[in-house]
Amino acid sequence: MMDYPTIDPVAISLGPLQIHWYGLMYVVGFVAAWWLGRRRAHRVGLSQDAIGDLVFYAALGVVAGGRLGYALFYGIERLVADPLWLFMVWDGGMSFHGGLLGVLVAALLFARRHRLGYFQLTDFIAPLVPIGLGAGRIGNFINYELPGRVSELPWAMPFPHMGPETRHPSALYEFALEGVVLFVLLWWLSAAPRRRGMISGMFMLLYGVFRFAVEFVRLPDEHLGFIAFGWVTMGMLLTAPMIVAGMALVAWSRRQPVDGALGHGVLPSRDHGRAS
């Protein structure tokens, strides 16, 4: 058995102002995406300065989509009872699947503005995302969130406020798979020219498989429980379409030109070479 590390969820406290580790993890994710994106900006015909705009679009999509998705997928009853709760972001609650939809909408707007093919842009974005996902899972772990199911494995640990039973550290599993493994695979795959849509499809497929697998050891949301057959969770229900869509996109990409990863054949941006 391992002890659950005691880490104060508040990273910085300045009088009434408190900065939580979970919030800082979002900053880590956006800064990492900005830094990595600048390294490859030329591959999609963008200036390095335009990457700042892209990260801004993505941040709006993550926050707006993540909050709305959580309200619709996990808190619809509370939303109906109190619509203003949607805007109470300090009350907690963000959904990856909602954030993903928000980023896809933001990418559509950005691609139109910069005259980029949609999947050329999403292929560029996909490898930049996993570091933020992994950082977010570390934030979940610090906040004692995403507890796993009871286990007797050597690395299982008792979760604070959940009794003496040892549980899977499912947030750490997701950090390793959605953060580290997904980043390494996508960064490696996108280092060489790939057919348009292939990297986007692999992101959806790999994330879907990793998340679906972890759901078997992650405790379902207390207010939802299992939603079907005594084992299907909301996470599984939302992730299964990602797996199907990822496989379909990879198959579709086989008939597309080889330009999605390195910018071969990409239309130039209107603000290529100058600040946007």
Q: Residue 202 and residue 243: Cα distance in Å, rounded?
A: 9
Closest Cα to residue 189, out of 181, 175, 199? 199
For CA atoms 155, 158, 164, 166, the dihedral sign is: negative
Q: Residue 3 and residue 142: Cα distance in Å, rounded?
A: 13
Q: Residue 53 and residue 107: Cα distance in Å, rounded?
A: 11
137 is in an annotated binding site: yes
Contact of 59 with 224, CB cutoff 8 Å = no
Residue 152 CB contacts under 8 Å (≥ 6 apart), including other chains: 166
User: What's phi and psi for 16, nearest 5 deg?
Assistant: -75, -15
Distances (CA, A) of 272 to 16, 193, 264: 44, 21, 15
Q: Residue 86 and residue 83: Cα distance in Å, rounded?
A: 6
According to DSSP H, which parts of the chain are helical?
A: 21-40, 48-74, 76-81, 96-113, 118-125, 130-142, 170-174, 182-189, 198-214, 234-253
Annotated binding site: 137
